Chains A and B, each alone.
Chain A
Amino acid sequence: MSDLTFHYVLDCPCGTTLTGLSEDEIVEVAFAHLREVHPDMADDYERDHVLFMARKLVRR
């Protein structure tokens, strides 16, 4: 078993790549991005939506 570490990566359709070290962090980062860049869509997403779209990928 390797000792790889992971983070959460979410590619916003606007082109911005968002990352977070934990589920809580990626949700926080995603909502901050929504509020700042896409305020009209901020109410369309819930925590579960963000976590579903985020990919858990290897972090170096």
Chain B
Amino acid sequence: MKWPAWEDAAFYLQEPAEMYASIAAQRHAAPVFWYEPAGYPTGLWVLSKWEDQRFVGSHPELFSSRFGFAIGDASDPSTVIRQLPDWAQKKIREGNLSPAETRRAIAHGKLSMGDPNFESLMISDPPRHGQIRSILMKALRPSLVRSLKPRIAEIADEFIGEIEPDAEVDFVTTVGRIPAALMTDLIGVPREMRERFIEMASAQMQAITIDPKRDPAEAQRINKLVEEFHSYCGDLLSDRQDRAGDEDDLTSIIAGSEYDGGPVPHGMAISFMHTFVNAGETTRALLGFVAVALAEHPDQRRLVAEQPDLVANAIEETLRYYPLNWSGCRTATQDVELGGQLIHKDDYVLMAYASANRDEDVWDRPDEFDVTRSFDKDHQSFGYGEHSCPGALLVRTDAGIILERLLARFPDWELTSEPPRWANPFLQGLGTVPVKFHS
């Protein structure tokens, strides 16, 4: 059995059963494994077990996020340097950077929107990380998410009401558009700008996924859309700052927040808007996999339709079974022993969420999709600890309401052809999900 090529998109695009067999083989034989990806300047540790990943996630003092968060951040800099802004290119070309500092230059560069002083939530550690995250969580606070429930149901009913029974439709561009519609509303984007905004925001998501094999023309297209996205967000923020509290959207909350005694820095504010969009895109991707899983398991779909109390469980099982994010990375701040292996200071550590979600020590029958599964322990699909997904509550709420409304209108659906899955070494999703809904 060949072990996983964690850095290679092709590994994630093979048949899931083969991919998970390969992941399981490594988890059984070498749960803490020193892996040297082809073409990478240094190796990295792969943690396959749920327990080890939880340990890393709950010890930011031992495992830092400052020096990269994705496997691609450890790429050979010469293969990705053109995807970075000038300041990051200069820093890398000047040399004298350690492997950890090089990863930081790559990760910081791709997130920075051209600003070398940009402070990112994703590559910060406590206590600074907590200060940045608290601004974001003010916008995504539970009371606000709870107040959205009627609005989510209203938008869901509007979109679902447009679907013709027994006609072939694409789930991604029908039901899957509900979260993005909701999120653009919440951000304060006018309806006529909705589709363009989503396109720009998707490009931003692609831009933070460093990929040495990216086609230069595609990289150029992405960069152009990203620039447009930043410019549009900047205008929206300025507008809300000028109006000073006249609006109650998420952009206004950020525009009215403080950081270090002053307004939230421009780049940071835009990165928060990006996080809001990501919550919508994550929900879209999650719902796509829910549609596939429940079409492939009609007995389980009927069970959820008959017993709506199972909706939350079905969402969790889909997140476990189809992780949208394959992994997350940290850097050891000191020598640490884990699973009988000595991880040295500055070593890069990859937490393979796709593996932890199938760990036999945590899950019975891990390769079966089961909406009645007991979640005594949480899956790793939203990460864990300080850096867990800040939009998780909104994603779960949004997806749960949409699934409940969908099952109430269409308790039955079928796939009309195999949905094409896309994947890179960081994320996966579904391009289209052709379905027929039945009343």
A interface residues with partner B (beta carbon < 8 Å): 1-2, 4, 6, 9, 11, 13, 15, 17, 48-49, 52-53, 55-60
4 cross-chain pairs, A with B, having the tightest CB-CB distances, nearest first:
A60-B374, A52-B146, A15-B58, A55-B312
Distance in angstroms between the alpha carbons of A15 and B373 in the assembled complex: 21
| Chain B contacts for A17, CB-based, 8 A | 377-378
Q: Smallest Cβ distance from A51 to chain B, in angstroms?
A: 9
Q: Smallest Cβ distance from A22 to chain B, in angstroms?
A: 14
Q: List 10 A-B contacts (CB under 8 A).
A: A6-B309, A9-B375, A15-B57, A15-B385, A17-B377, A52-B142, A52-B145, A57-B316, A58-B373, A58-B374
| Chain A contacts for B219, CB-based, 8 A | none
Q: Is B5 an interface residue (CB 8 A)?
A: no
B interface residues with partner A (beta carbon < 8 Å): 54, 57-58, 142-143, 145-146, 303, 306-307, 309-310, 312-313, 316, 372-378, 384-386, 388, 393, 396
| Chain A contacts for B54, CB-based, 8 A | 15
Task: Say what secondary structure dominates the interface of chain B.
Answer: helix
CB-based nearest A residue for B397: A52
Asked if B393 and A57 sit within 8 Å, CB to CB, the answer is no
Asked if A53 and B385 sit within 8 Å, CB to CB, the answer is no
| Chain B contacts for A49, CB-based, 8 A | 142-143, 146
Of B146, B306, B310, B388, which contacts A13 at CB under 8 A? B388
Q: Smallest Cβ distance from A52 to chain B, in angstroms?
A: 4
Asked if A57 and B307 sit within 8 Å, CB to CB, the answer is no
Of B307, B374, B393, which contacts A53 at CB under 8 A? B393
| Chain B contacts for A15, CB-based, 8 A | 54, 57-58, 384-385
Distance in angstroms between the alpha carbons of A15 and B306 in the assembled complex: 33
| Chain A contacts for B145, CB-based, 8 A | 52
CB-based nearest B residue for A56: B312
| Chain B contacts for A4, CB-based, 8 A | 307, 309-310, 372
CB-based nearest B residue for A55: B312
Asked if A57 and B142 sit within 8 Å, CB to CB, the answer is no
CB-based nearest B residue for A6: B309
